[in-house]
């Protein structure tokens, strides 16, 4: 997976206009969160209609002694502040996507990033489900509605049933749980749509 250098942006997908579409009606802040190396930066890069902002730095020997690299030994960069992107959905809904760092040492940023968010998409790696427990705890403590998306890594186990995965994460029956390929635009967008539908159901619009 290609990575941008710190505080740089990728080539603008499809040459999309950076201005909000005229149909924009509801502007929604969404957190894209999950443990280290789960694919948050990749998902935002895949779906953003504007050039996504990434704040990535190369992993150093010093950070390797602090961060748990189990299961992500091939990863060479890490987000040190936020990732940011934007996607317009049908019905005039525009999502502002804020990707959170996945390491414990950046937890102090959580409250600032979560401020004003309406929900969170939690990415999970089926190869290391236990790495998601701390992030899920943060999301639940914040009271944010959320959906869970299993990012389909090529070597991820395929024998677990949805019921087993839901039980492993101790999810409520109403919490959406989907699979996605963070590298594929349509697949990543479908995961976001599952969250948006959950938000609509969780916070129905007030009568006018």
Task: Classify residue 112 as exposed, middle or buried by CB count within 10 Å of its CB (0-12, 13-18, 19+).
Answer: exposed
Q: Is the CA virtual torsion 105, 70, 46, 132 positive or negative?
A: negative
What's the chain's Rg over C-alpha atoms? 16
Q: What's the pLDDT score for residue 106? A: 60
Q: What's the pLDDT score for residue 17? A: 61
Low-confidence ranges of the chain (pLDDT < 50): 1-15, 57, 59-67, 69, 71-73, 75-76, 78-80, 207-208
Q: What's the pLDDT score for residue 205? A: 55
Q: What's the pLDDT score for residue 133? A: 94
**Is the CB of residue 99 less than 8 Å from the CB of residue 78?**
no
Q: What is the pTM of this model?
A: 0.79
């Amino acid at each position: 997976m290609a990575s941008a250098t710190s505080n740089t942006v990728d080539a603008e997908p499809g040459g999309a206009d950076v201005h909000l579409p005229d149909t924009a009606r509801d502007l929604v802040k969404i957190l894209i969160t999950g443990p280290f190396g789960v694919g948050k930066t990749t998902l935002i890069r895949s779906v953003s209609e504007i050039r996504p902002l990434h704040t990535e730095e190369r992993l150093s020997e010093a950070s390797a002694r602090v961060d748990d690299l189990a299961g992500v030994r091939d990863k060479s960069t890490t987000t040190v502040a936020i990732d940011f992107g934007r996607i317009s959905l049908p019905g005039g809904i525009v999502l502002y996507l804020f990707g959170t760092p996945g390491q414990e040492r950046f937890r102090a940023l959580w409250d600032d990033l979560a401020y004003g968010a309406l929900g969170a998409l939690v990415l999970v790696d089926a190869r290391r489900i236990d790495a998601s427990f701390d992030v899920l705890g943060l999301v639940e403590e914040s009271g944010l509605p959320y959906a869970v998306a299993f990012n389909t890594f090529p070597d991820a186990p395929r024998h677990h049933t949805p019921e087993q995965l839901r039980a492993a994460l101790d999810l409520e029956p109403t919490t959406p749980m989907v699979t996605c390929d963070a590298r594929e635009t349509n697949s990543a967008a479908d995961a976001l749509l599952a969250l948006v539908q959950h938000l609509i159901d969780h916070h129905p619009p007030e009568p006018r």
